[in-house]
Amino acid sequence: MPHTTSKSQVPVPVQMAQNGQTSRQPPGKDVSPSIIRVLVKTPNAQEEFVVSDDTTVSQFKEAISTQFKCNVDQLVLVFVGRILKDQDTLYQRGILDGYTVHLVIKSKNGPPPQPSGPHGPLLMDLGPREGIGKVVGNGGRQPIIPIRNTVPTPIPASEPEKAKAQSQIPQPRTAERMAQMLESPVIQQLLSNTELMRQLIMDHPEVQQLMKQNPEVGHILDNSEILRHTLDLARNPAMMQEMIQRPDMPRPPEGFWGNETNPGGDNALGRNYAELPDSLFGGIQDPLRENLFTEFMHGASSLGGTSHTQSQEKQDSKPVPRVLHNPPPGHPLSGPTPVAAAMANAPAATSKGSSRARTSSTQGIPPLTTESLDHKTDRNFPHMADDPQLLEDLSSGTRFTGSMLQLLVQNPHLAAQMMLFMGSPQLYEQMRQQLPTILQQMQLSDLLLALANPKASQALLQIEQGLQMLSTEAPALLPWLTPYLWGLGRSGFPEATAAGAQSKEASGPQGRGKTDTRYQPLAILQRLQALAGGYSQQMQPPEVRFRPQMERLRAMGFRNHNANLQALIATEGDTSAAVRRLKRSQAS
Amino acid sequence: MEPTNLYPVKLYVYDLSKGLARRLSPIMLGKQLEGIWHTSIVVHKDEFFFGSGGISSCPPGGTLLGPPDTVVEVGSTEVTEEIFLEYLSSLGESLFRGEAYNLFEHNCNTFSNEVAQFLTGKKIPSYITDLPSEVLSTPFGQALRPLLDSIQIQPPGGNTFGRPNGQS
């Protein structure tokens, strides 16, 4: 039954329908116009319209405009992705009963880029140019806008004015444009004018806030070298993505770079690294804590600069970040310092050292030896800083670690599950079987190495060297070593190597070749557990720690001292689990 | 018949768990999930997605998640960029404000579905939109619901859309 009343006021077609078939039959239509219900949906609301299906779109629009109280010109009707043109009828467009037509009401001022909201389109277009904007954190976009806009005119003009002018300029896909602008000598000059940049940055309220939270930032900004370096960084979008990944944290990403190039600046970081282990442990020890890894990263970010006793040591070993680049084969570093630094490095958005170390240790000897040579000869800051390989490692390493951590932060239930698994030994065993490959995919090996005992990694690298020599001098020995390797390899290798310092052959094979990448992931969890268990405890050689258990094992009849030790290390001192492991390896 | 421009519309699908879900879901949930899906719509050479910060946009593949795991061709649309931006901005003020984000009920996939229907009339694949109910139908999901409800996902790398200050 045709409705005589309708929500919309489209009298003509309805009447026509009421009157039955009349002359208004559009060409090509055989049946009488029927009444259809059409749902008109806007982002804000939706209304149902009952119309005849031979209503033209323009008539329909009129009805809609009355209903929605706007002009017909403002209406854009979209059906199945097609914009409805005025002269068509609903039937022609295939709009049948019960279908939904989308409506966009154009605002009177036109599309979103309005003077009142100048930052909308600017932000949209700043996508590719985030680098520049984010150099100084989230708020940094604004200072840059004036630069973009006022190439010929002096910078210190009012920002809203600039933004307004900006909005009037059409903004197409302007990545190339931005690149062009960057290239222009005026911009280059401006950007090189550190005083100006500094002023711009300082003037921004968010930056000021950042500085309040983080005194180091001010220090960093004072150094023109750092600024320049930062701007270079801005040109590398991959790097910048890494830098901006955690905008909610009051962390001066550029500060890290600056400190690297600036010898004196390391002090800030040196202090900060010390903070990390505490936060790290605090975070990990509470397995059900929701934002476990946020805590973790907050630790990394809380570069509050409070002095720490350990920082004294660190200040001496200035290249704290650098140390890890040259995986410390030739350099006996004091235990806690580099480990803390190592841990700080990994999560602190850059796992330079770890990725470097990993590259070295996993890719074999040649990079290792060259680095160790470098390391032994001279520790040159600029030398390291300019190393392109370094940056490469950095960006690749951090991206993965960062994204992994990001993932964990955003999915705290995942992290919680991980921690739960680690608490339950049976589940843990089960997980451990599966995790190596998983974690390998996730590139957590960075984290692992970062967390590793530096003495261990040092020993490990020595082992690699030894193995390399072995392989060249006496390749016949290798098959003999391999089974040993597999049997021992199950436990976390860094600890094993620390213990194995006594017997190089025993632990040697562990560090070898591709087993590295396999066992690293395993060791990550163990590392985490170990850390949770107690940092200082880890520093004691496992022999000392596990003496009573070792005794027990020997009493049970397991004579192989090393195998016992490995098993105990793997099970963290759990004698019965160690027994199971030993039995398993004996059987295999 | 004047020629109308047809703009391709794609759906970028990301697995937030990076493969973990496929491995661990049988253990944790008791059922197999292929991934934790995050989606975004790519049209007019921009990627648009919804997160706890509201609607954001970035160059395609430009979030920290990197390139998508799957790309689904949704179809094509006549809707021009101008109209689309208008549409998005009114969505962002009404239905898809940042505060409206809820991991189960009103998430990035809800947004992608909405936009896909607007642009092409088609919905996004159901395995994506069915994910919350899949999870909630497990005892594990039910148990962790309060925790999961509070999770807000916002892939970094995008620019928040349509807010006066540009900040989320």
pLDDT at A439 over 50: yes
B residues 82-121 closer than 8 Å to A (CB): 82-83, 85-87, 89-91, 93-95, 117-121
Residue B168 placed within a domain: no
Instruction: Give the residue-averaged pLDDT of A199-217.
Output: 72
For residue B45, list chain A residues with Cβ-Cβ distance below 8 A. Answer: 173
Highest mean pLDDT among A243-252, A479-488, B54-63: B54-63
Q: Find residue B56's DSSP bridge partners.
A: B49, B160
Q: Predicted confidence band at B144 (pLDDT cuts at 50, 70, 90)?
A: confident
How high is the pLDDT of residue B71?
Answer: 92
Q: What is the 3-state secondary structure (H, E, C) of A466-513?
A: HHHHHHHHCHHHHHHHHHHHHHHCCCCHHHHHHHCCCCHHHHHHHHCC
For residues A186 and A218, the answer to whether their CB atoms sit within 8 Å is no
Neighbours of B52 (CB within 10 A): 18
Give the three-state DSSP class for A234: helix
Q: Rounded to whole angstroms, how far apart are CA atoms A285 and A297?
A: 15
Q: Rounded to whole angstroms, how far apart are CA atoms B2 and A25?
A: 24
Q: Rounded to whole angstroms, how far apart are CA atoms A59 and A47?
A: 16
Q: What are φ and ψ of residue A489, in 5° steps?
A: -70, -15
For residue B78, list chain A residues with Cβ-Cβ distance below 8 A. Answer: 78, 81-83
Instruction: Give the residue-averaged pLDDT of A142-170.
Output: 40
B58 is catalytic: no
Q: Rounded to whole angstroms, how far apart are CA atoms A57 and A103?
A: 12
Buried b (16+ CB within 10 A) or exposed e, A419-453: bebbeeeeebeebbeebbebbbebbbbbbbbbbbb
How high is the pLDDT of residue A460?
Answer: 67
Which amino acid would we find at residue A581?
A: R
Contact B64 A126 (CB under 8 A): no
Q: Predicted confidence band at A236 (pLDDT cuts at 50, 70, 90)?
A: low
Residue/partner pairs of B95-100 with CB below 8 Å, 24 or more apart: B95/A43, B95/A44, B96/B50, B96/B54, B96/B55, B97/B54, B98/B51, B98/B52, B98/B53, B98/B54, B98/B160, B98/B168
Q: Rounded to whole angstroms, how far apart are CA atoms A102 and A82?
A: 10
For residue B158, list chain A residues with Cβ-Cβ distance below 8 A. Answer: 127
Residue B72 placed within a domain: yes
Contact A104 B90 (CB under 8 A): yes
Q: What are φ and ψ of residue A234, in 5° steps?
A: -65, -25
- pLDDT one-digit tens code per residue, A14-69: 444 344 333 444 444 455 678 888 888 888 888 888 888 788 888 888 888 888 88
Q: Is A219 exposed, middle or buried (0-12, 13-18, 19+ CB in 10 A)?
A: buried
Q: Quote the percentage of chain A above a pLDDT of 90.
A: 0
* Distant-in-sequence, close-in-space partners of A75: CB < 8 Å, separation ≥ 6: A61, A64, A65, A68, A103, A104, A105, A106
Question: What is the residue-wise DSSP string for A371-390?
Answer: HHHHHHH---HHHHHT-HHH
**Alpha-carbon distances, residue A264 vs A260, A267, A309, A372, B147 (angstroms):** 9, 6, 18, 24, 45
pLDDT at B18 over 80: yes
Q: What are φ and ψ of residue B71, in 5° steps?
A: -120, 125
Contact B62 A128 (CB under 8 A): yes
B46 close to A (CB below 8 A):
yes
Residue B82, domain extent: 7-157
B59 close to A (CB below 8 A):
yes
B166 close to A (CB below 8 A):
yes
Residue, of A527 and B75, whose pLDDT is higher:
B75
Which residue in A has a C-alpha nearest to residue B116's C-alpha? A81
Please report the sign of the dihedral spanned by the C-alpha atoms of residue A32, residue A36, residue A42, residue A45. Answer: positive
Contact B87 A43 (CB under 8 A): yes
| Dihedral-angle region of residue A513 (phi above 0 means left; psi in -120 to 50 means alpha; beta otherwise) | left
A residues 450-479 closer than 8 Å to B (CB): none
- At A81, list the tokens: 């992705």
Q: Rounded to whole angstroms, how far apart are CA atoms A376 and A328?
A: 10
**CATH code, domain with B148:** 3.90.1720.30
For residue A126, list chain B residues with Cβ-Cβ distance below 8 A. Answer: 159
CA dihedral A527, A529, A534, A535 (to 10 degrees): 20
A residues 21-80 closer than 8 Å to B (CB): 42-44, 76, 78-80
Instruction: Give the residue-averaged pLDDT of A151-163.
Output: 40
For residue B82, list chain A residues with Cβ-Cβ distance below 8 A. Answer: 111
Contact B166 A122 (CB under 8 A): yes
B3 close to A (CB below 8 A):
no
Beta-strand runs (E) in B36-115: 37-43, 46-51, 54-58, 70-77
Residue, of B25 and A274, whose pLDDT is higher:
B25
Residue B167 placed within a domain: no
- pLDDT one-digit tens code per residue, A554-569: 888 888 888 888 888 8
**Closest C-alpha to A483, from A510, A458, A461, A462:** A510
Q: In this complex, which of B19, B148, B164 lies closest to A117 when CB atoms are compared?
A: B164
**Closest C-alpha to B18, from A488, A437, A50:** A437
Residue B162 placed within a domain: no
Please report the sign of the dihedral spanned by the C-alpha atoms of residue A139, residue A143, residue A144, residue A146. Answer: positive
Residue B2 placed within a domain: no
Q: Which run of H or E residues covers position A401?
A: helix A388-410
How high is the pLDDT of residue B73?
Answer: 92
A residues 159-218 closer than 8 Å to B (CB): 173, 175
pLDDT at A158 over 80: no
What does DSSP assign to residue A263? G
For residues A446 and A358, the answer to whether their CB atoms sit within 8 Å is yes
Residue B93 placed within a domain: yes
pLDDT at A268 over 50: no
Q: How many CA atoms lie within 13 A of B9 on its CB side?
A: 31
Mean model confidence pLDDT for chain A: 56
For residue B149, list chain A residues with Cβ-Cβ distance below 8 A. Answer: none
Instruction: Give the residue-averaged pLDDT of A344-359.
Output: 39
What does DSSP assign to residue A33? P
For residues A295 and A282, the answer to whether their CB atoms sit within 8 Å is yes
Q: Rounded to whole angstroms, how far apart are CA atoms B44 and A336?
A: 53
B64 close to A (CB below 8 A):
yes
Contact B59 A128 (CB under 8 A): yes
pLDDT at A100 over 50: yes
Residue B66 placed within a domain: yes
Residue B121 placed within a domain: yes
Q: What are φ and ψ of residue B38, in 5° steps?
A: -120, 135
- pLDDT one-digit tens code per residue, A108-132: 654 444 333 333 333 333 333 433 3
Report CA A374 to chain centroid distance, whole Å. Answer: 31
Q: In this complex, which of A100, A107, A116 lies closest to B86 when CB atoms are compared?
A: A107
For residues A245 and A130, the answer to whether their CB atoms sit within 8 Å is no
Give the three-state DSSP class for A22: coil
- At A185, list the tokens: 């000598």
A88 close to B (CB below 8 A):
no
Q: Rounded to whole angstroms, how far apart are CA atoms A458 and A466?
A: 12
Contact A410 B153 (CB under 8 A): yes
Which amino acid would we find at residue A253?
A: P
Q: How many residues does chain B have?
A: 168
Alpha-carbon Rg for chain B, nearest whole angstrom, is 16
B44 is catalytic: no
Instruction: Give the residue-averaged pLDDT of B32-47.
Output: 90
**Closest C-alpha to B103, from B147, B59, B47:** B147
CB pairs under 8 A between A and B: 153
- pLDDT one-digit tens code per residue, A465-509: 777 787 777 767 666 665 555 544 434 344 433 333 333 433 334
Q: Rounded to whole angstroms, how far apart are CA atoms A551 and A538?
A: 20
Contact B86 A78 (CB under 8 A): no
What does DSSP assign to residue A226? H
Q: Predicted confidence band at A151 (pLDDT cuts at 50, 70, 90)?
A: very low
Buried b (16+ CB within 10 A) or exposed e, A12-45: ebbebbeeeeeeeeeeeeeebbebbebebbbbee
Contact B151 A80 (CB under 8 A): no
Q: Predicted confidence band at A235 (pLDDT cuts at 50, 70, 90)?
A: low
Q: In this complex, which of B118, B156, B161 lies closest to A78 when CB atoms are compared?
A: B118
Q: Rounded to whole angstroms, how far apart are CA atoms A330 and A346?
A: 21
Q: Scanning the structure block, which residue is given the tokens 């709009």? A: A95
Give the number of domains in chain B. Answer: 1
Q: How many residues does chain A have?
A: 588
pLDDT at A99 over 80: yes
B165 close to A (CB below 8 A):
yes
Highest mean pLDDT among A171-185, A265-279, A503-517, B33-47: B33-47
pLDDT at B88 over 80: yes
Is the ipTM beyond the 0.95 threshold?
no
For residue A82, list chain B residues with Cβ-Cβ distance below 8 A. Answer: 4, 77-78
